[in-house]
Structure formats: C-alpha cells, structure tokens
Chains A and B, each alone.
Chain A
C-alpha cells in the first residue's frame, strides 16, 4: 500500500561527483516496497519546484529505504542540501516491480549511469529469493561516472565495466558489453538507463530471443496513475491500451511491449 509520510533523513552523502545517496527512516514504505518500485519526494516545502521528484528505491531495509540520485536540476539541488536529521515528505512505494521468475541460467543487470540505482534491491532479491547471483554490466560515459561497482563486487556479483571513452573497462556502450556476454534464451536481462541505451539493449536481446525488463523514466506530475502525463507508447494497437503510464503500468516493462522507435528522439 502506498503512503505519504514525513521521513527523517538518517544519512545523506555524496557517493561520486554529483551523485548522492539519501537514506530515509520509512518503515511503512519499506514494508510495502518491492525492487524496482519508486517514491515521489517533496524536495522543497514551497511551490517552486512544484512537483514531487520520482526516484527509484536503491535498498529496502527493515526500517527504511535508500535512494541514489544525480544532482541535475533545481529539485535535486534543493534535495542535495537537505541535512541528515531533516524531515522530507515521501509518497511511496509506487509502480510495479521487477519480475523475479525462477529457472534462468543467468540473471544480468545492465545499468547506464544513474540507471544503476534500482539494481541493489533487485540483486538482493535475486540472491535471497532465487538463490542466484546476478551479473552486472555497469556502463557510464567515463571512469568517474561509474557507480556502485565496489558495492556489487562486495555482494559477489561479477561486474562488467564499459565506458564510452574506454577510460575504464571495455570501450563502447552498454549494448556492446551485453552482446559480448553472449546472452541466450536462458538469460534474463534487466536494464535501466538512458532511453537510447535501453533501446539498444532491447535490440541485442530481441536478436537473441532474450527476455528483457527495462525500468523506464519519464517526467511525472502525480506518480500515481492520475495525470496521464508520464505515458510511453506501447506496441498495442487498440486506442485504450496504446499508451501505458510509466508510473502505474510501469516503471518496469517487458522491452518487447515498448515502441522504442517512438520513444527515441534522433
């Protein structure tokens, strides 16, 4: 069940230049949350910025959650200034969650930049509930923007690094790294990152008949299925189902259900 709650910030620190982790005391949210779900954070009491900020859940603890975010605009800048001990209003958990089907040989998470944010909770669930250890493709523009590599290594997950400029790991894109890992029908892929990256990951998966679940991002007003603002075009043809809400039908979608051509701007 979704709740709206004033949460104490129990930790708030920079984990890489321009990227922060916020830890919130939020037992009711944690109790209801599943990997892949998100929360709407009120970065500011005033009316500018006006809307809450949707952010996916990184870790689910007993008494709270953590969230990773990139400081990008006004909302995240204001959020970044909130000190430990301060109180922030949070609505969550929202949206669907990553499917956790049994029986695959390999579980592969592909994260681009801050898109890696929902994977720690996913990895924990795969390990605890499926008894399997997922692999991670960590993609970023360059070395300095790689996130959570050590954390995943500590969890025992094999990590494959790829950077646009080759400053760490393989030189190339996330989709190149994925192709090099030769996934097949016995592999389940999860991905999250920029739309162009997810579209390319989907292509690799589609070529090889690999099921892939993507966590999508969109501008959101309500986060709760009301405003119809965050929709993504699907492959469904009938008028009532052609647009799917990222906040409600998503944020996790089977990439075969998404019309990637419509979503990627040249």
Chain B
C-alpha cells in the first residue's frame, strides 16, 4: 500500500507525512478529533502557549475578507501549566507528533517555555512565535515591534531558545519585512533547526457606515487563500537563502496549494484557517499528496521539495 514515502525530516523532527496545521487554527488537537483521527497528521501544532494564561484582545476579533480573514485574537490561551495538565495527555495518548508553539516576553521566557516543555515531555519540537502581530495595542505601537522584524533580535532569541532545549527549534517569521531572507538567515545563524513562514500579513478593515475599525484591536493579521501567492513567494525566497528546512504555510486550502509550497522548497507544510471552514482539510491534503505522487510516478515526497521548474 505504501508505495509512496511521505515521511519527511523537518530539522530533526520526523513527520510521517509533510502536513501539519498552523498554530492557532487547530486548538490543542482534541477539538477536531471528533471529525477525523488527528494522529494521522504529520504533526499537530498547538495554539501559542505562554507561561501564564492570557485572556487575549477585546472583541471583535475576526472579520472575513475576500478569500480570507483578519484576526486579532491576542494569543488567548490556557497557559503552559494547563496545557501540560489538561491538553497534553490527549495528544500523547493518541500518539500525535507535537509541535508546541510558544510565545514569551523576552528571550528568557521563550527559553523557560522551551526548557519546561522538553522536561515535561510536552513537545517533540518547539516553534517559537517571534511574529505575532496582535499582542501590541495598535493605538500606541509604531512599526518594528515584532521580534522577527529585527534580524539581531531573531539571532538573540534563537540562541536563547536553542541553549535551553535539545528539541528541534523552529522559528516562525513574519512576512511584514522587506527581505524575508534576513530574519531567516539570522534564525539559521542562531542555530534554528527550521523556520516557519509565513505568519499573517498585517491588515485593517473599516466599516464605512460606523467609520470604526472592524477589529477591537484596530489592526490584525490577514490569512486565508488570499495571501497564498505571497506566502509561496516568500517560501521560495527563504529556501534559496537557507540551508535549514522550511515549514511553509499561508492560505493552503487544497492539495495543489500544498504542492506549490513543497515545489517552492518547503520540506513540510501547515494548513491554517482552512481548517475552520473544513476541519478535515489537512487530512484531505495528505490523501491528495499521496494520490498526486502515484499519478506522477513519485516514490518519495522529498523529491518534490524545491522541484519547481524555473
């Protein structure tokens, strides 16, 4: 049956297939297990974890846009302790491969999160969210507030996280930069095992009738099929600059979309907000990738990585 090898190695994390889900679009895995066996995913990437629980931003937090959505959730999450006590047992019982996405205030908090996750068996890999656009009040923030917009900071944070854990460390980058290669190379220099991109694009929507921003946070992150071509291009840019692998994401809704990221150079992909529309979207893509390989006579999915014909 397994004529096609779908297994990939993402910076030391062995995934049985190259498809995970984007942090924040899949809860802690259990929520969608009612629709399909989530252990079939290459990995489950959990909602960003912080040391303490966070209530997140004021509503409204989401607004639908053409072929996508804006969100400004603000990292509402249960916190590390509740994750380890209440959410992790399900994932371990199901034998899921776990990518724990983390968010901290300063490099020490990231390091602490990574250290504790490793010590308590809470993750198989760490994805450090250095690029959340929604944790600053837009009324006061000026540009350049995301860690991943500064290559120097990316280097510093990556080193701090790497020194705290032996788990594979992925650095998640923002697309809101002039040159994606700069933060990506900084992550590589800091010892990152892979980079994840793209996080959401900063966006804004205003209701002309009320003249108010649609989001309580004023601005938010744009995701969905609308941003996919931007994401594919950035993955391609990053892959040409890097030696470490890339976890590609941004608007993936179908098998063909996922293939584009692989062909652009991504070693693995993450399905994001399409899971909101269709909870088993990632599973359908895994099945679709295998069918594609059979149809194209590909025996190892790794042969497709970076195989775009220029």
Quote the shortest CB–CB distance from B45 to chain A (angstroms).
Answer: 13
| Complexed CA–CA distance, A52 and B53 (Å) | 29
Chain B residues within an 8 Å CB radius of A47: 67, 224-225, 253
Instruction: Establish whether residues B62 and A226, one from each chain, have CB atoms under 8 Å apart when the complex forms.
Output: no
A229-B71 contact given A4-B35, A51-B277, A240-B82, CB 8 Å threshold: yes
Partner of B27 from the list A226, A231, A263 (CB cut-off 8 Å) is A226
Interface size on A, residues (CB 8 A): 34
A257 within 8 A of B: no
Partner of B31 from the list A220, A225, A229, A232 (CB cut-off 8 Å) is A225
Instruction: Establish whether residues B273 and A231, one from each chain, have CB atoms under 8 Å apart when the complex forms.
Output: no
A232-B59 contact given A50-B224, A221-B71, A240-B79, CB 8 Å threshold: yes
B interface SS class: loop
A227 within 8 A of B: yes
**How would residues 21 to 58 of chain A score, 1 for a CB under 8 Å from any chain B CB and 0 otherwise?**
00000000000000000000010000111111000000
Partner of A224 from the list B31, B53, B66 (CB cut-off 8 Å) is B31
Quote the shortest CB–CB distance from B136 to chain A (angstroms).
Answer: 18
A2-B62 contact given A47-B225, A52-B277, A227-B71, CB 8 Å threshold: no
| Complexed CA–CA distance, A230 and B57 (Å) | 11
Instruction: Establish whether residues B53 and A227, one from each chain, have CB atoms under 8 Å apart when the complex forms.
Output: no
Chain A residues within an 8 Å CB radius of B24: 227-228
**How would residues 61 to 89 of chain B score, 1 for a CB under 8 Å from any chain A CB and 0 otherwise?**
11111111101010010110010000000
Chain B residues within an 8 Å CB radius of A52: 276-277
A226-B69 contact given A221-B276, A231-B56, A240-B79, CB 8 Å threshold: no
Chain B residues within an 8 Å CB radius of A63: none
| Complexed CA–CA distance, A230 and B68 (Å) | 16
| Complexed CA–CA distance, A221 and B70 (Å) | 10
A262 within 8 A of B: yes
A265 within 8 A of B: yes
| Complexed CA–CA distance, A1 and B35 (Å) | 10
Quote the shortest CB–CB distance from B58 to chain A (angstroms).
Answer: 7
- A59-111 with Cβ < 8 A to chain B: 91
B279 within 8 A of A: yes
A227-B73 contact given A233-B59, A239-B52, CB 8 Å threshold: yes
B275 within 8 A of A: yes
| Complexed CA–CA distance, A64 and B55 (Å) | 37
**How would residues 27 to 65 of chain B score, 1 for a CB under 8 Å from any chain A CB and 0 otherwise?**
100011011000000000001000011111011111111
Quote the shortest CB–CB distance from B305 to chain A (angstroms).
Answer: 26
Instruction: Establish whether residues B76 and A243, one from each chain, have CB atoms under 8 Å apart when the complex forms.
Output: yes
A49-B61 contact given A224-B279, A225-B27, A240-B82, CB 8 Å threshold: no
| Complexed CA–CA distance, A232 and B61 (Å) | 10
| Complexed CA–CA distance, A208 and B135 (Å) | 41
Instruction: Establish whether residues B61 and A50, one from each chain, have CB atoms under 8 Å apart when the complex forms.
Output: no
A150 within 8 A of B: no
A242 within 8 A of B: yes
Quote the shortest CB–CB distance from B41 to chain A (angstroms).
Answer: 14
| Complexed CA–CA distance, A207 and B137 (Å) | 36
Instruction: Establish whether residues B60 and A218, one from each chain, have CB atoms under 8 Å apart when the complex forms.
Output: yes
Chain A residues within an 8 Å CB radius of B63: 219
B26 within 8 A of A: yes
| Complexed CA–CA distance, A232 and B275 (Å) | 22
A148 within 8 A of B: no
Instruction: Establish whether residues A226 and B277, one from each chain, have CB atoms under 8 Å apart when the complex forms.
Output: no
| Complexed CA–CA distance, A200 and B35 (Å) | 39
Instruction: Establish whether residues B55 and A240, one from each chain, have CB atoms under 8 Å apart when the complex forms.
Output: yes
Chain A residues within an 8 Å CB radius of B25: 226-227
Chain A residues within an 8 Å CB radius of B276: 51-52, 221-223, 226-227
A227-B34 contact given A239-B54, A240-B78, CB 8 Å threshold: no
Chain A residues within an 8 Å CB radius of B224: 47, 50
Residue of B nearest to A223 (CB): B276
Which residues in A have some Cβ–Cβ distance to B below 8 Å? 1-2, 4, 42, 47-52, 91, 218-233, 239-240, 242-243, 262-263, 265
Which residues in B have some Cβ–Cβ distance to A below 8 Å? 24-27, 31-32, 34-35, 47, 52-56, 58-69, 71, 73, 76, 78-79, 82, 210, 212, 224-225, 253, 273, 275-279
Can you list 26 residue pairs at the A/B interface with Cβ under 8 Å?
A47-B253, A48-B67, A48-B225, A49-B64, A50-B65, A50-B277, A51-B69, A51-B276, A51-B277, A52-B276, A218-B60, A219-B60, A221-B62, A221-B64, A224-B279, A225-B31, A226-B25, A226-B26, A226-B31, A226-B276, A227-B73, A228-B76, A232-B59, A233-B58, A239-B52, A265-B210
